[in-house]
Structure 1
Amino acid sequence: MARNRAINSPWMYAFGMLAMMIPSHAFSAFYVFYYMETLGLAIGLVTFARTVFMIWDAVNQPLAGYLSDRTDTRFGRRKPWLYVSIPLFFLMFYLVFAVPEGLSETALFVWFLVALVLFEAVATIIWVNYGSLFPELYRGNTLRKKASAIQQGYQIVAILIASVAGPILYDGLGFGPMALIFGGMFAVLMILFLRFTQEDEEARKTPRMGLKESFAATVTNKPFWIFNIANSFAQTVNGLLSSMIPFYAKYVLKVPPEQVSLLLASIFVSVIPLVAVWFWIIKRMDSVKAWRLSLLAYALSVIPLWFGSNLFTGIAAGVLVGFGLAGFLVTPPVVNSHIIDLDYAETGRRREGVYTAVSGFITRSSGLISVLSVLVVGVLLGYESGDNPGDNPELTFRVLISVVPFVLLVISIALSYFVRLKPLPDSEQA
């Protein structure tokens, strides 16, 4: 009976988020620092490889969603893809951080590019299929808000683990062993999540759309596009903050490597209780208004990062960022699921995979903004790499961690005012 109650419980579903976010956050937080600062790969080559990575990420998302929606096995649509991806993700994550010694700069660049492309191919399959389960398993605004809050709470625990343990592991053991440890945690937690997940049989029976028809429906869905474009600018901030924290700690706060974990913890420890605060807020608000409020809070929260000057002020600024980040993590899944339900009400067909994938396509495309921001600010202010940081690396990373995120979030807020959604049918409101 206990196992039956655990099947599709939001608490068990969230183990998938915990599993994926430990290595995913370690990847986003440390791979640029590893290749550029530790291995000395030039910022131009890093930027080119990341651009290819972003384009590939954007292109493969829709295909993964379409294939997932059309899969029909006795094990479900999403779970077979997830099971197959577990060992592949483990291997590709390790290869990103297991660079052989003695490579020339050209060989290092080739390794970097190939590792990024392979890692992203597998990561796309996992994220698309996991995300597609959310609107299928949890129906109704109340349940979704609860499930989203729990899911994002687990996500913050994962980010905290990666943020705090990551610097300790790579400083003490190296980046390769860090990847092995985080990859092993991913595999164990992912299997636990899948053991307690059962797909909706009715969703498998809905009529399938062809590739052209399926994507045409998303292209003509105006609220979907505006929401995701607005969301993508804010999502870019998540990645930018994560990847810039080690640089911010080194050049702005001037703290030793062993204290980077404290700075990262200040952001993510504060998010865990603040997720509950945001759940209390959104229970009393329309989902779109709650999402817009979270964007405003996030924009205001990055301003104090400009004024950081030591570990104490950096931690204080990090706690404030945690409040804005918590709101942004909780609110978008509820709005996105609302959009998917409206599509189902109009078409009679469940297409979570395509919608999740196209959302990912839009979000990942905007990641090019992050890449270009790092390149442009680095060139203008003289930062090239850890071997040649220029005359004022402190200003470089103040701008990248505060000014650029604030501008991106202001754009998100402006776009959010153009998102208007119809109420859900009564059967979906509960």
Structure 2
Amino acid sequence: MQKRRDHSSAERLGGRTTHPLRYAVGMFGTSIPINLLRTYAAIYCIDQVGITSKQFSIILFVYTIVDVLNIFWFGYLSDRTQTRWGRRKPWLVVSTPLLVFSLIGFFSLPFSEGNVWIGVYLGIFYILTTALDLIINLNYGSLFPELFPEIKTRIKTNLLRQAFQVAAMVISIALTPVITERFGYLSVAVIYGVLAWFMIWFSAFGCHERFHHQPKVKVTFTESFSMVMREKNLWTYGFATAFYSISFALFMQSMPFFIKYALHLDATRTSLIFFVVLLVTVVGMGVWGRISCFFSALNVLRVGTAIILFGFFLLLFSNDFLTLTLFSSLIGFGIAGVMISSDLVGALLIDRGYEKHKKRLEGVYSSFFNLMYRVNGIFIGFAFFLVEQFYHFSSGTSPGDAPDQAAKFLFVVFPLATAILSLLMTFFISNDNDNTQYVANETHLKEGE
């Protein structure tokens, strides 16, 4: 207890404090580009550009492999970086403009339809954009447990940043179909990219890293990698978030397919339903934020995941726009619970790692979290591969004989299966990560015990 108290006191006294709002607004900037890419790359590539579902699945597979090969090096290098700006800020400042230019490159296709190089071009820029997004999110996420060591501040800050994330989703997901129908994807990519650039830099230059956290004892890549790999809770938490991310990603990416091919509605309905779902998510975050003050983040994560699972089950019986809206809104409410709790559980795992190893390895831990989240590319690519194999849905010009069933498989069946796996994995995470233990420690500190 004495060691925990001394460590927390040092965190309070060292360096300038960062205002939660200034840090949280960065989530708005980091979310806009990747939401645009992940949500609309499939419909853009398959339905508009004309590459096949199998080709798109290959792009997702290759990007995932590249991320797996690079991700721990990114975290390791971030932990070892030492500048007068801190460890994370230089990566955020340099990577952001590169991300913007890469996003614009993806949506500015220089080839005419049918060119054999289209798939290669799209693959290169998709991989480059996601790699730069990985660097940005890894370093941005690593700041969270370091800048805000107290659980009450974490809950407040996480609520703010998730609110900014949902705001970014409203713009980059809900409004995109309407805007692109008039101006095209390239114009949208430029607007979103510039907005993201400003927001990320505004946040990064307002974050004050605690310089006494700069590593004084160098840890080799092998040592840091080994420390993380031996943590059982990291694996169970990682698999839970990975399966959740598959459900979430397919829910977003397949919605336009389901509305077009199963319900035979126009793109404006896609915007409308995304807006409703995200509105429910915002309201839900307020509800879950209050609940998080009384229940552990792990239990909130379990309940939120269970609600998502139930929502996908109900979607099996959805055959009109009204039921789609209602059941999707239920999923949105569950997503809010996961968004509020997931990062808190991750931060507590990083705290446990520090208590065990006495080394600041936020970058390596964040690399692992991002790795488990990003392996969803393999499974999502597999889902698109299965759609072509089972339903012969190849592209917008060759949708097969049952495009409605293909869309339902992508939108409901596959996500339902991964949601079940996600919920099961949350019950293998140890309960010793209950945030009430940290609240109690803070109370002892204030009382001088």
TM-score scaled by structure 1?
0.95
- Match in the other structure for 1:372: 382
The gaps in structure 2 that reach 5 residues or longer are: 1-15, 444-449
CA distance in 2 between counterparts of 1:25 and 1:428 reads 38
- Greater Cα shift, 368-377 or 90-99: 368-377
Aligned match of 1:131 = 141
| Cα offset, 1:314, TM superposition | 2.4
Query: Secondary structure at 1:358's aligned position in 2?
Result: helix
Q: Which amino acid aligns with 2:240?
A: A
Contact 2:80 2:215 in 1 (8 A): no
- Rate the CA distance shift 1:321–1:338 in 2: closer, same or farther, 3 A: same
Q: Within 5 A, what are the aligned runs for 1:178-197?
A: 178-197=188-207
Relative to structure 2, which stretch is displaced further, 47-56 or 211-220?
A: 47-56
Aligned counterpart in structure 2 of residue 320 of structure 1, from 319, 325, 330: 330
User: Aligned runs of 1:400-419 on 2, under 5 Å?
Assistant: 400-419=410-429
Any conservation in 2 of the 1:301–1:323 contact (CA below 8 Å)? no
Amino acid at match of 1:209: V
Aligned-partner Cα distance in 2 for 1:33–1:425: 45
Give the CA deviation at 1:429.
4.8
Task: Report the Cα distance in structure 2 between the residues aligned to 1:169 and 1:425, rounded to whole angstroms.
Answer: 46
- Deviation at 1:26? 0.9
* Matching residue within 316, 325, 331 for 2:341: 331
1:16-415 equivalence runs, <5 A = 16-102=26-112, 104-415=114-425
TM-superposed CA distance for 1:304, in Å, is 2.9
| Deviating more after overlay: 134-143 vs 352-361 | 134-143
The alpha carbon displacement at 1:104 in A equals 3.6
For residue 302 of structure 1, give the secondary structure of its aligned residue in structure 2: helix
Q: Deviations over 1:198-230 (max 9, x none)?
A: 111221155331111000000111111111112
For 1:298 and 1:335, the matched residues in 2 are separated by 18
Identity %: 26
Distance 1:314 1:292 in 2: 24
Q: How far apart in 2 are the matches of 1:64 and 1:428?
A: 33
1:7 deviates by: 5.8
Residue 372 (structure 1) shift = 0.4
CA distance in 2, matches of 1:205, 1:70: 7
Instruction: Quote the Cα distance in structure 2 between the aligned partners of 1:124 and 1:397.
Output: 29
1:28 touches 1:239 (CA, 8 Å); kept in 2? yes
Q: Deviations over 1:364-392 (max 9, x none)?
A: 12331121022113321221111111111
Instruction: Give the deviation of 1:149 after TM superposition.
Output: 1.6
Cα RMSD of the aligned pairs, angstroms, is 1.7
Give the 3-state SS of the residue equivalent to 2:214 in structure 1.
helix
One-letter code aligned to 1:16: G
Instruction: Give me the whole-angstrom Cα distance separating, in 1, the residues matched to 2:331 and 2:262.
Output: 17
Give the distance between the partners of 1:225 and 1:313, measured in 2 at CA. 36
1: CA distance between counterparts of 2:326 and 2:235?
Answer: 36
Counterpart CA distance in 2 for 1:18 and 1:308 is: 32
- In 2, the alpha carbon distance for the partners of 1:195 and 1:422 equals 35
**3-state SS of the aligned residue for 1:387?**
coil
Distance 1:299 1:58 in 2: 28
> Which residue does the alignment assign to 2:447?
none
Please state how far the C-alpha of 1:361 moved relative to its aligned partner: 1.3
Deviations 1:20-59 (A, max 9, x none): 1111111111011101000110111111111101111222
Q: Write out per-residue CA displacement over residues 326-361 of structure 1, whole angstroms, 9 at most, x where no aligned residue.
A: 111111111111111011112211110000001111
How many Å apart are 1:232 and its aligned residue? 0.7
Where in structure 1 are there 5+ consecutive unaligned residues? 1-5
Distance, in Å, in 2 between the alignment partners of 1:388 and 1:139 is 53
Q: Indicate the larger mover: 179-188 or 141-150.
A: 141-150
Work out whether residues 34 and 130 of structure 2, in 8 Å CA contact, stay in contact via their aligned partners in 1.
no
Residue 116 of structure 2 aligns to a residue whose secondary structure is helix
- Residues 294-350 of structure 1 show CA distances to partners (whole Å, capped at 9, x for unaligned) of 111111122233333333332222211211111111111111111110111122111
Which stretch has the larger CA shift, 204-213 or 41-50?
204-213
Structure 1 residues 277, 427: closer, same or farther in 2, change over 3 A?
closer
Aligned equivalents of 2:441, 2:27: Cα separation in 1: 24
Q: Give the structure 2 partner of residue 3 of structure 1.
A: none
Contact 1:169 1:177 in 2 (8 A): no
Q: Which residue of 2 aligns with 1:10?
A: 20
Size of the alignment, in residue pairs?
A: 425
Change (3 A) 1:421 1:314: closer
- Secondary structure of 1:307's counterpart equals coil
